[in-house]
A and B are shown apart, each in its own frame.
Chain A
Amino acid sequence: MDIIISNSVKDPIYHQIIKQIKELVLTGKLSEGDSLPSIRQLAKDLQVSVITTKRAYEELESDGFIVSIVGKGSFIASQNQELLKERRLKIIEEKLIEIIEESKLVQLSKEELMEMILILYGDDLK
């Protein structure tokens, strides 16, 4: 798991941590049940204040991304599967809209596009 913090960006550090963990979850690099480093270990690795990492984890928890169990640590929460899928579908939808617009530009018909998709999809199955 990688978290890269910038000191020169205006975004406060706890915010950057939150964003990056959310992204890791949404892109599937972190999945349900994966354990996160303790707030102190993270503070040590990033060389930031423990208060910062604590705040980041607290917000992630209230947003439902992670759960913290006393004595065991913090883990990625489960409900994210649906959220993940939903977000993914949205990204796919956005990309399809882009593709359709591109197709229209080169005057590719709907059927030609579908054929292309089938061929490419088919290749994947092999």
Chain B
Amino acid sequence: MTNVVEFNNVKKSFKNFSLDDVSFSIKKGFVTGFIGANGAGKSTTIKLLMKLLRKDSGNITIFGLDQDKHNQEIKERIGFVYDENCFYDTLSIRELRKIIAPMYQKWNDNLFYKYLDQFSLPEKQPIKNFSKGMKMKMAILFAISHDPEFIIMDEPTSGLDPVFRREVLELLHEIMLDDQKTIFFSTHITTDLDRIADYITYIHKGKILFSKEREELLTEYGIVKGSNDLLDRDTVKEFVSIRKTNVGFEALTSCVKKTKDIFGDEVLIEKPSLEDIMYYTNKGDLKCTL
């Protein structure tokens, strides 16, 4: 299993925020979802990946190549979808194609027109008249028409209706039928990740907390529900964080096995959602002493 991307000890500081010693990798042939609260560092990481920001220190390799030395070669093989509008809005898709297509050696007009048709996008209208969904489809269109090996998306489905989000996921699944492709996308909409992600990378306050197989994550973590009487100074330490109510507590554990050993039948343990994991982790600290 090869890595398309390797981040090694990357640091980047801003006035109010810093990415602190970030190391993780993105595996080839899989879909990696990138989650984290607002301000946790998702956009910063993606911008570093795309060289929109320059790192303070550390090492970033993409396709095994050093990002600093092989920037153009790398960009030829990457498709990038950004959530804000960054295309010239007075131009039409036809005109944008005239500007963008010559930049790529592997630009494929067959692919371009196929998807243009599939997405039902108008070719000659200025894009400022497009709806949000159409703009996103267009961004995807331009990102995939040069047959990239690696597709990076920054919140591609935010602000889009559920119907459209499903369409995007269908498209991503279609792309992933090819085992040479890799997708990395950041999102808040964890339910989208439930339908496609193979790996999840979670960033929290500028640090990578974990980068794991999604299904494994959902079996290792659990939502624990039980009586408040069960909580004492020692047991509280077993959980990532706890939500106490008048009618019992709900907590997240990062080691279901251990929790089962300690509490046995006294608690109810359920499969967590990614959203649960994010919520509770944000509340507390991550611990796993398995």
Q: Do chains A and B touch in the complex (CB under 8 A)?
A: yes
Assess whether A10 is interfacial by the CB under 8 Å rule: yes
A14 to B169 alpha-carbon distance, docked (Å):
21
Residues on B with C-beta less than 8 A from A50 are: 29-31, 176, 198
Assess whether B196 is interfacial by the CB under 8 Å rule: yes
Task: Flag if A43 contacts B173 (CB, 8 Å).
Answer: yes
Task: Flag if B196 contacts A41 (CB, 8 Å).
Answer: no
Task: Flag if A51 contacts B177 (CB, 8 Å).
Answer: no
Task: Flag if A47 contacts B214 (CB, 8 Å).
Answer: no
Size band of the interface chain B makes with A? 10 to 19
Whether A52 contacts B215 in the complex (CB less than 8 A), given A40-B177, A44-B173, A47-B173, comes out as yes
Contact of B213 among A10, A13, A51 (CB under 8 A): A51
Assess whether A12 is interfacial by the CB under 8 Å rule: yes
Task: Flag if A51 contacts B198 (CB, 8 Å).
Answer: yes
A10 to B270 alpha-carbon distance, docked (Å):
8
**How many A-B pairs fall under 8 Å by CB?**
39
Task: Scan residues 214-235 of chain B and give those whose CB is less than 8 A from a CB of chain A.
Answer: 214-215, 219
Task: Flag if A49 contacts B198 (CB, 8 Å).
Answer: yes
Task: Flag if A49 contacts B214 (CB, 8 Å).
Answer: yes
Residues on B with C-beta less than 8 A from A49 are: 31, 196-198, 213-215
Assess whether B271 is interfacial by the CB under 8 Å rule: yes
Size band of the interface chain A makes with B? 10 to 19
A90 to B76 alpha-carbon distance, docked (Å):
61
A48 to B214 alpha-carbon distance, docked (Å):
10
Those 7 A-B pairs whose CB atoms lie nearest each other, nearest first: A44-B173, A47-B195, A49-B198, A40-B177, A51-B198, A52-B215, A50-B198
Spell out A's residues near B (CB within 8 Å).
10, 12-14, 38, 40-41, 43-44, 47-52
Given contacts A12-B215, A44-B176, A49-B197, 4 further A-B contacts (CB under 8 A): A14-B215, A47-B169, A50-B30, A51-B213
Can you show 28 pairs from A to B with CB atoms below 8 A apart? A12-B215, A12-B219, A13-B215, A14-B215, A38-B177, A40-B176, A40-B177, A40-B179, A41-B177, A43-B173, A43-B176, A44-B176, A47-B169, A47-B173, A47-B196, A48-B195, A49-B31, A49-B196, A49-B197, A49-B198, A49-B213, A49-B214, A49-B215, A50-B29, A50-B31, A50-B176, A51-B214, A51-B215
